[in-house]
Amino acid sequence: MSLLGTSAADQLPDSLSPSPDNTVDVTTPAEATGPTGGAVAAADPTGDDPYEMAATLLWARVLGMTAIGPHDDVVGTPGGEAAAGELAAVLRDEFGVALPVSEIVAARTPAGFAAVWAAHQGEADRHPTVVPLTAAAPGTPLFCFPEAGAPAIALLPFARYFAAERRVYGLQAHALEQRGIPDWSVAAAARRHVAELRLLQPTGPYLLAGHSFGGLIALEVARLLRRAGHEVGLLALIDTYLPGTARLTRTGAIIPTSQLEGRHPDRPQDVARSDGPGPLAADEGPALGPRVVADRLRQLVELPLAGVVRFRGTHRYDVFHNQGRILTMAYRPHTYEGRTVVWLADDHDEIEAWRGVLAGPASIRRIPGDHRTVLRQPLLAEVVADLRADLAAVPGVDTAGS
């Protein structure tokens, strides 16, 4: 259970806001396509473990299959052992992880490979918070920031759409997978990331994308780059909340403020329904039981240990998820005047709160779905189709073949 909710996917708001002159597009994008125009066909696992999801995608890629499960014996399929060698090359060339083919073969399944990969990721000969998600490509790089508590590899389903078009880097929290002292503010994390991405791309225009809490990081990185005189071609925010636009109920659920008492300025027509759920009060719900209280206390004790203690398995991601929520609550975004595009899922109804932060050219787009599904199919393909068109319209940005 997360500190402010019931799961790591149930995360607190994250991000920004546009000026009254900004446009609001409520259109649904077309189907996303690959760099050559053809539809991207690949397995689309929907599990919550990022390495298992990524491992399943990569195995599907090297086997040329579109539907495999995380527990399938892929090594035992025709050509499976030979594909393991290709998979090791992909891992080395694209992710900077040297993994013996024998270990991939011994793992047998994508889930087994994921466990081996995660164990080796901390030994990768790369910047400790930067993970290349695609191979080198001719287009201007795209730097992406995942949600709180998620490793960069969680963005692989998103990044693969840009393979052969532009290199995509994922920038994750410092000390998430290597022991160290994490950044305890959005600004500190952004300063670190600015230094890292400028090593990879010394001059602009820079292309930045952030999902959920990662949008806050991307916003602050963009602001710091512009303040230093560098050009930011595009800032893309995917279902990122502005701090202060949600509250915690007694039961631990995260409730948008528009669902609390009173009407919301974005949707003044909303009224409480007499035959069903209406506006919720922050103190509604049953009292917390002893087990829940004990779990919350455990999470509070673990917070200062984030990055310092190597928690077992995916528990380290939960700890950093909670840490990201604390950073969100403490963050106060500055006005940003650069070109920005924002996608908001249907359960994110805080458009009005964005005004006053995004003061430059900005477009806010509605997409069907909720915060958990915005980077899953079919919504992922829709977001990518829109973003590819946005990138093509940015002056001075190189694209594949240009």
Predicted local confidence at residue 248, as pLDDT = 54
The highest-confidence range among 167-176, 287-296, 346-355, by mean pLDDT, is: 167-176
Q: Where are the domains of the chain?
A: 23-34+128-247+302-392
CATH superfamily of domain region 23-34+128-247+302-392: Alpha/Beta hydrolase fold, catalytic domain (3.40.50.1820)
CA distance 388 to 394: 10
Q: Check residues 28 and 259 and name the one with the higher pLDDT.
A: 259
Among 13-17, 40-44, 45-49, 213-217, the least confident range: 13-17
What is the pLDDT averaged over residues 119-135? 70
- Positive/negative CA dihedral, 103, 106, 110, 116: negative
- 171-198 pLDDT, tens per residue? 998 877 777 788 889 999 999 999 999 9
Predicted local confidence at residue 325, as pLDDT = 83
Per-residue pLDDT at 204 exceeds 50: yes
- 223-273 pLDDT, tens per residue? 999 999 999 999 999 998 888 665 555 444 455 555 544 444 444 444 444
What is the pLDDT averaged over residues 83-100? 84
Predicted local confidence at residue 246, as pLDDT = 56
Percent of the chain at pLDDT > 90 equals 30
Predicted local confidence at residue 352, as pLDDT = 67
Per-residue pLDDT at 337 exceeds 50: yes
Q: Full-prediction pTM beyond 0.75?
A: no
| Neighbouring C-alpha atoms within 13 Å toward the C-beta of 45 | 26
Average predicted confidence (pLDDT) for the chain: 75
Which residue has 């995380």 as its token pair? Answer: 70
What is the pLDDT averaged over residues 134-158? 91
Per-residue pLDDT at 377 exceeds 90: no
Burial 33-54 (b: 16+ CB within 10 A, else e): ebbeeeebebbbbeeebbbbbb
CA distance 58 to 284: 45
Name the token pair of 316.
Answer: 């380290």
Predicted local confidence at residue 174, as pLDDT = 85
Distances (CA, A) of 211 to 125, 174, 224, 288: 26, 17, 19, 31
What is the pLDDT averaged over residues 58-64? 87
Residue 231: phi and psi, rounded to 5, are: -90, 130
Percent of the chain at pLDDT > 70 equals 71
Name the token pair of 32.
Answer: 């996303």
**Number of other CB atoms surrounding residue 90 within 10 Å:** 15
